[in-house]
Amino acid sequence: MLKEGDKAPDFDLPTDTGRVSLAALKGRTVVLFFYPKDDTPGCTTEAIGFSRAKADVEAAGATLVGVSKDTVKKHGKFREKHGLTVELGSDADSDVIERYGAWVEKTLYGRQYMGIDRSTWLIDGEGVIRRIWRKVRVPGHVEEVLAAVRNP
């Protein structure tokens, strides 16, 4: 299980605009957020919130990257429908999601299943995990992440 202070696992994922990788972002702080599914209420609210905060996050020297198992095509439709400006990486085979420990057992109405833990990772310019938020509740989360980016 990864923890703060550990080296972040590298990632290189397709997006609807190309590719996004941790190696290409070396030297920049990265806010990496995992979310369950495009175009669902909580995920849409979170992605819109991060998109609204994008200019402030970038002004603080960080880059936003969202990741789910949805396809590149679905990400493109999701971004277009909601005017999203954050990069959305497609991890269809769950490789990156699993390496970050965001593929977890969940329970809904007594039924257990595997799914993505809504979580956010703050990674410094050297690739070290500085902060982890797990089991994220969307209200107030973007503001909390922005505060952490501004004051590492």
144 included as an active-site residue = no
Read off the DSSP letter of residue 23: G
Which one is catalytic: 43, 64, 116, 148?
43
Q: Decide: 61 and 123 in contact? Cβ < 8 Å.
A: no
Can you tell me the distance from the alpha carbon of 59 to that of 38, in angstroms, rounded to the nearest whole number?
26
Can you tell me the distance from the alpha carbon of 105 to that of 23, in angstroms, rounded to the nearest whole number?
30
What positions carry a catalytic annotation?
A: 43
